[in-house]
């Protein structure tokens, strides 16, 4: 199990705290420092069953500068979104937990963290 976190994020700290309380075996990836490649982002999206715009923090300053809210959300523009996430990792929703069964969850709630633990 791996969790992508930003240590400054309260949701990330809460998820890590819950993983620790449950005795989970996991690896922390500080994705702002260890930036995921476009291929890694695609793999996580596949595991999540989501599209890149589904995990994009569109209220961030970088998103506004890029004009992401106006970008088309379709297959033809999918790679453009993935590349933007790789170039601007702050835009990636957090935390993301990749579960042992090959799935993943955006673990913003305690229930989502527990869901990842049960997989």
Query: Is the Cα torsion angle 94, 69, 83, 101 positive or negative in sign?
Result: positive
pLDDT digits (tens, 9 = 90+) for 40-62: 999 999 999 999 999 999 999 99
Look up residue 80 and give its two tokens.
């453009």
For the CA atoms of the chain, what is the radius of gyration?
14
3 state SS of 44: helix
pLDDT digits (tens, 9 = 90+) for 6-26: 999 999 999 999 999 999 999
Place of tokens 């990636």: 92
Q: What are phi and psi of 15, to 5 degrees?
A: -65, -45
Q: How far apart are CA 27 and CA 17, in angstroms?
A: 13
């Amino acid at each position: 199990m791996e969790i992508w976190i930003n240590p400054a994020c309260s949701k990330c700290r809460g998820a890590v705290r819950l993983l620790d309380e449950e005795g989970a075996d996991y690896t922390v990836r500080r994705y702002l420092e260890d930036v995921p490649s476009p291929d890694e982002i695609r793999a996580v999206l596949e595991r999540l069953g989501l599209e890149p715009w589904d995990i994009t923090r569109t209220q961030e300053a970088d998103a506004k500068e890029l004009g992401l809210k106006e970008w088309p959300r379709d297959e033809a523009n999918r790679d453009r979104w993935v590349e933007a996430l790789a170039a601007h990792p702050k835009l990636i929703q957090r935390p993301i937990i990749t579960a042992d069964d090959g799935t993943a969850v955006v673990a913003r709630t305690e229930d989502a963290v527990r869901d990842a633990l049960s997989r």
